[in-house]
Amino acid sequence: MPPSGSKNKKPLDMVVKLALGVLVGSFALIWGGMYLSRPDRSIPPYTVGSQIGHVVATHVPTGTTEQQIESLLKRFRKVGRQTHNFASMKVHPTTSGDPGGRYRRIVIYVFDDGGWTEPEALAKYVAGDAAVAKEFEKSVRGYYRLQDQEEERGVGPVPKSGEVSDITRILFKGRVTDPLPVDAEPETDNSISPL
């Protein structure tokens, strides 16, 4: 007979061990999936509203700050410099079939009003409708242009050829081979915290 203070522990049943393993493994898979698919918080959320040829209209939420739009434009510039492959930025090929590359020429407009990213509005702008073009260009919050090796990006309405308004700030104009400024891309947050 065992002493009165001690208890004999029964080993866990194999089914209980298996259930605990499945439970812990499920939580590990869920956490890993959430970590790997977390949104990129270094740029504002955006969607590609429409695209006609090499002209792309993107939409950011209302209230997106100028600094956030600038960070999005920096990301477009980084992609243009490093890979010339904007597929990771949700843009369909703009010059498919071109031996120089699938994104040899691209113009991306950023709006905080989703109406301007509708296919009908972009089609009228590309077709040259003067009334639509004036309002379209005035509503742009930022833009990025890439033509072969020449690129330009700016915050504010699209500048007319040769004239820049006081409310448009050109962030960069030059060749993709020009050296980047020191503050080209902010450090990304690699923390695991959801906050």
pLDDT band at 51 (very low <50, low <70, confident <90, very high): very high
User: What's the whole-number mean pLDDT along residues 2-14?
Assistant: 73
Mean of the pLDDT values across residues 22-34?
A: 92
> With 60 as the cut, is the pLDDT of residue 90 above it?
yes
Phi/psi-derived region of residue 163, left when phi > 0, alpha when psi is between -120 and 50, beta in every other case: beta
Structure tokens, 46:
């955006």
Which residue in this structure is represented by tokens 């820049």? 164
Mean pLDDT of 90-95: 88
Average of pLDDT values for 159-165? 63
Is residue 193 over pLDDT 50? no
Question: d(Cα 194, Cα 78) in Å, to the nearest integer?
Answer: 26
Q: Which of 31-35, 77-81, 138-142, 160-164 has the highest mean pLDDT?
A: 138-142
Q: What is the pLDDT of residue 149?
A: 80
Integer Cα distance of 32 and 101 in angstroms:
35
Q: What is the DSSP string of 11-59?
A: PPPHHHHHHHHHHHHHHHHHHHHHHHT---TTS---EEEEEETTEEEEE
Lowest-confidence range among 104-113, 125-134, 180-189? 180-189
In 39-94, which ranges are continuous DSSP H helix?
Answer: 66-82
Whether the predicted pLDDT of 85 surpasses 70: yes
The answer on pLDDT for 185 being more than 60 is: no
Strands 169-175 and 150-155: antiparallel
pTM of the model as a whole: 0.71
* Averaged pLDDT for residues 33-54: 84
Q: What's 39's DSSP letter?
A: -
pLDDT for the residue 186: 47
Residue 108 has which token pair? 């991306």
What's the mean pLDDT in 148-164? 77
Say what percent of the chain tops pLDDT 90.
29
Instruction: For residue 183, name the pLDDT band (cuts at 50, 70, 90).
Output: low
Q: Is the pLDDT assigned to residue 188 strictly greater than 60? A: no
Task: State whether residue 26 is helix, strand or coil.
Answer: helix
| Three-class DSSP category at 48 | strand
Q: Alpha-carbon torsion 172, 175, 181, 184, what sign? A: positive
SS3 track for 135-160: HHHHHCCEEEEEECCEEEEEECCCCE
